[in-house]
Chain A
Amino acid sequence: MTKPEGMLTWKDLQIGSIVTEPGSASQYQTGDWRSQRPIYDSSKCIKCGICYIFCPEGCIEQNDEGYFEANLFYCKGCGICARECWTQAVTMVEEEE
């Protein structure tokens, strides 16, 4: 996409709003829907990956040290990772905090 979606005029759109660039959904920032964000406490994390499995957005990644964290560009703040975490290593905090 040459312009961000919010800048496109009706004349810029492909016919029928057809998306001709495969995988372009990755440019869509779903993170701005979020009202809460997950905080990961690596001292409690046992690296089990349950948060990674349950994340409906598929936005949790494992870092070089083997700990898991959400990519906040995509994370919608649903809180499922915090709910599922065995060791309460994930807590949700309000975005404004």
Chain B
Amino acid sequence: MAKRVGIEVSIAIAEAAKLANVDVVASYPITPQTHIVEHLAQLVADGDLDAAYIPVESEHSAMSACLGASAVGARTFTATAGQGLELMHEVLYIASSMRLPIVMAVANRALSAPLSVWGDHSDAMAVRDTGWIQIFTENGQEVVDNVLCAFRIAEDQRVLLPVMIHLDGFHLSHMVEPIFLPEPAEVDKFIPPYQHPFPLNPDKPVTMGGFGPPDIYSEAKKAQEVNLTAAKEVILQCWNDFGSLFGRYYHPLECYHSQDARVLLLTMGSFSETAMTAIDTMRREGKNVGLIKLRLWRPFPFKEIRQAVKNAEVLIVLDRALSFGGPGGPVCSEIRSALYNEDKKPKVISFIGGLGGRDITSVGFEEIINRGIEISQTGSEQEFEMFGVRE
């Protein structure tokens, strides 16, 4: 039976990687992710985890070393944040295009300048199109559970794609929370051994990342797109199996008092916890509001989103990232795009907030919802509004 322990979320992530019996960890420390790989280094150094820990000179090298490890058939884990994720950028595409099931925790951090080590989703949004499966998490338990699920999803023969587990830097990475850590035997049962169908092997040579001239590149990209989209079924199945074994069920999005709500708020990550408090307060005041928490970011859950919001009149989307000179929030612009051709759809209002570690309190969320309702009635000259910015 799993024990519930008070543990820092970063340490719990490292323990989850240990439970998954990773073979290789290649990483470079960066705030607010450092505790994850620091603890993994300790586990390896102490002989508590039989894995190769490769201390590299940069995140570009970290992801490159992960490619090699995963390509020979090793279960591979790494973690990064902010600028580190950006330094990995070009290698991220290679991991997904070569179908290497690396699992990476990203302690989401704002991007410089000005230099910020604090959390927002700018780093995640910059790697949106890299072809990785991407899951946003809300609390420590969800991070641990999804790191375990990530190995099973990534290494599934129908998937063979890398997975990013996003957790908010500091707001999640540095929290001490009560977390159930499953027994090793339970995890062994849940995650089968990793077997790549064509690993690098001198006895049976293959070429990975070869030349793709114009007459083959489009076919390669189509195959990749079909594969990532089809991974959704495997993700749903994995979450369902995880629920049957461990009693905690996950879905592409969570609906909180949203069924009958006239006004919906949509959030991603740890801010959803605070947003729930705001919804509770407003509901007590008789306001007809609800919350959608988006968990599965890639592949994007079009069907579930359309279904969840179709009866609402107003949908307010909070982004913790800004697309400069563009439509505002990257999440909001995808939601708008997903709904545009629907006959029955809410008005979609975009808010940007929580940048660079700025908190939004439950009162703040009430203000966002109230202002969103106002904009839906009066309209706005702006494409989006930034919440809480001093004028």
**Which residues of A does B touch, CB under 8 Å?**
5-6, 8-20, 22, 24-25, 28
Minimum distance in angstroms from B91 CB to a CB of chain A: 14
Set A5, A10, A12, A25: member contacting B215, Cβ < 8 A? A5
Stretch of B4-12, B205-213, B292-300, B357-365 contacting A (4+ beta carbons < 8 Å): B205-213
State whether A13 and B219 are in contact (beta carbons under 8 Å apart), knowing that A19-B206, A22-B205 are contacts in the complex.
yes
Contacts of B160 in A (CB 8 A): 15-16
Contact A20 B210 (CB under 8 A): no
Q: Judge if B198 is at the interface, Cβ distance under 8 Å.
A: yes
Contacts of B226 in A (CB 8 A): 10
- How many A-B pairs have beta carbons closer than 8 Å: the answer is 59
Q: Judge if B222 is at the interface, Cβ distance under 8 Å.
A: yes
Contact B98 A18 (CB under 8 A): yes
B213, closest chain A residue (CB): A5
Contact B206 A13 (CB under 8 A): no
Main secondary structure of the interface of B (DSSP, over half): loop
B219, closest chain A residue (CB): A10
Which residues of chain B from 60 to 77 have any CB-CB distance to chain A below 8 Å in the complex?
A: none
Set A10, A22, A24: member contacting B222, Cβ < 8 A? A10
How far, in angstroms, from A15 to B160 measured CA to CA in the complex? 9
Which residues of chain B from 83 to 113 have any CB-CB distance to chain A below 8 Å in the complex?
A: 97-100
Minimum distance in angstroms from A96 CB to a CB of chain B: 23
Contact A8 B207 (CB under 8 A): no
Contact B206 A18 (CB under 8 A): yes
Contact A17 B220 (CB under 8 A): yes
How far, in angstroms, from A15 to B212 measured CA to CA in the complex? 14
Main secondary structure of the interface of A (DSSP, over half): loop
Contacts of B219 in A (CB 8 A): 8-10, 12-13
Can you give 26 A-B contacts (C-beta < 8 A)? Answer: A5-B215, A6-B216, A8-B216, A8-B219, A10-B218, A10-B220, A11-B223, A13-B216, A13-B219, A13-B220, A13-B223, A14-B198, A15-B223, A16-B97, A16-B99, A16-B160, A17-B97, A17-B216, A17-B220, A17-B223, A18-B98, A18-B198, A18-B208, A19-B208, A22-B205, A28-B211
Contact B205 A10 (CB under 8 A): no
State whether A17 and B198 are in contact (beta carbons under 8 Å apart), knowing that A10-B223, A11-B223 are contacts in the complex.
no
How far, in angstroms, from A54 to B227 measured CA to CA in the complex? 44
Minimum distance in angstroms from B207 CB to a CB of chain A: 4
Set B98, B206, B220, B227: member contacting A20, Cβ < 8 A? B206
Minimum distance in angstroms from B214 CB to a CB of chain A: 9
B220, closest chain A residue (CB): A17
Contacts of B222 in A (CB 8 A): 10
Contacts of A18 in B (CB 8 A): 98-99, 198, 206-208
How far, in angstroms, from A19 to B227 measured CA to CA in the complex? 18
Minimum distance in angstroms from B100 CB to a CB of chain A: 8
Minimum distance in angstroms from B153 CB to a CB of chain A: 16
How far, in angstroms, from A14 to B160 measured CA to CA in the complex? 12
Q: Judge if B379 is at the interface, Cβ distance under 8 Å.
A: no
Q: Give the most central of A6, A9, A15: most B CB within 10 Å.
A: A15
How far, in angstroms, from A14 to B220 measured CA to CA in the complex? 9
Contact B205 A15 (CB under 8 A): no
Set B99, B213, B215, B216: member contacting A15, Cβ < 8 A? B99
* Contacts A5-B216, A17-B212 supplied; 11 other A-B pairs, CB < 8 Å: A5-B213, A5-B215, A8-B216, A10-B218, A15-B227, A16-B100, A17-B223, A18-B207, A19-B208, A20-B206, A25-B210
Q: Judge if B47 is at the interface, Cβ distance under 8 Å.
A: no
Contacts of B114 in A (CB 8 A): none
Which residues of chain B from 355 to 388 have any CB-CB distance to chain A below 8 Å in the complex?
A: none
Contacts of A13 in B (CB 8 A): 216, 219-220, 223
Contacts of B218 in A (CB 8 A): 10
Minimum distance in angstroms from B274 CB to a CB of chain A: 41
